[in-house]
Amino acid sequence: MRRVRYESVGGPLFVEEAPVPEPGPGELLVRCEAVGVTLPVVRKVTEAAEPIALGGEIAGEVTAVGAGVTRFRPGDRVTGLCFGHGYADFAPLHEAMASPVPDGVDAVAAVALVRSGLVALGALAAARPEPGEAVLVTAAASGVGHLAVQLARVRGAGRVVGAVSTAAKADFVRSLGADEVVRYGDEDWGAPVDCVLDAVGGDLLTPAVAALAPGGRLVAYSSGGGTVRAYDLLVGAKSVIGFQMARIAREQPERYERWRRELWELFERGAVRPVVHAQFALEDAAKAHAAIESRGNLGKVVLRP
């Protein structure tokens, strides 16, 4: 089979021939039809101390199952987050991370919706917005962010604000249901909000916390790091909440399944629509990474093995 790899930090991505992996205990072997490219993986290629396996969101058909698997069998179509080599024709997927794909839904739509949508829905749940409250979403045009904007509206937000890197993304974010769009460099982010869903981190944390109304909550689900001053939280009785989807999948499978069902129900009735910015062949994985690094994508970037 083919898989994408690199040999040095920041080094070029290349396709190599590799043996088809065997599923381990609790794992599915999936023939990949679509692979979602994520910012955390793109960052690790340039920042990790040594090369990593290029994992990510995968969707396709189960071809084999490992010992102890009870929920799936060969022939099932699934999507989920692969922590091994996911940029490949075949990839391992732990059963706890797998979600079934309904009949009639193609792999690209599944990979664009499920994992990113689960993260968006989970971050929104962690923020605990009351009906009518204002929600601000950073990276609002990204694979997760563009779904978070829609889900905030569906879940009853009174005002939805999208924060983006450039004005070129404003029309796209408004088309998703955002009432307002601000740029990261703007001095004024408008009226305060009750919740911020932050996928950026770093230096953006300071203005994101400043955008909160007294008692507001910021949910951090970014791999971008950053620091928040305790004083900035104290004076406005604000809070920062960390959110990690993998922990929910492992430790709260009932909640994970409930969110998954909600996503598919919203998708089926047209209340949430995943947008795919571009699709690339495995051989063009470097171009897919460049699309993410440039922050020019509007929606999800997908590889098609």
Domain that holds residue 52: 2-101+275-304
Residue where a domain terminates, one of 229, 245, 261: 245
Closest CA to 227 of 246, 206, 248: 206
- Over range 82-96, report the average pLDDT: 95
pLDDT tens per residue across span 67-80: 999 999 999 999 99
Within a domain: 251: no
Within a domain: 180: yes
Same domain, 282 and 180: no
Cα–Cα distance, 160 to 143 (Å, whole number): 17
Helix (H) or strand (E) holding 266: helix 253-268
β partners of residue 302: 36, 279
Closest CA to 42 of 228, 248, 222: 222
In this predicted model, which residue has the larger pLDDT, 27 or 293?
27
Residue where a domain terminates, one of 225, 245, 265: 245
In this predicted model, which residue has the larger pLDDT, 50 or 171?
171
For residue 247, name the pLDDT band (cuts at 50, 70, 90). Answer: confident
Within a domain: 270: no
Within a domain: 23: yes
Same domain, 37 and 148: no
Instruction: Find tokens 């959110």 and name the residue.
Output: 243
In this predicted model, which residue has the larger pLDDT, 268 or 40?
268
Task: Tell me how many domains the chain contains.
Answer: 2
The confidence score (pLDDT) of residue 294 equals 86
pTM here? 0.90
Within a domain: 260: no
Residue 94's CATH number: 3.90.180.10
pLDDT tens per residue across span 202-214: 999 999 999 999 9
Closest CA to 95 of 115, 53, 66: 66
In this predicted model, which residue has the larger pLDDT, 195 or 39?
195
Same domain, 240 and 286: no
Number of other residues whose CB lies within 10 A of the CB of residue 229: 11
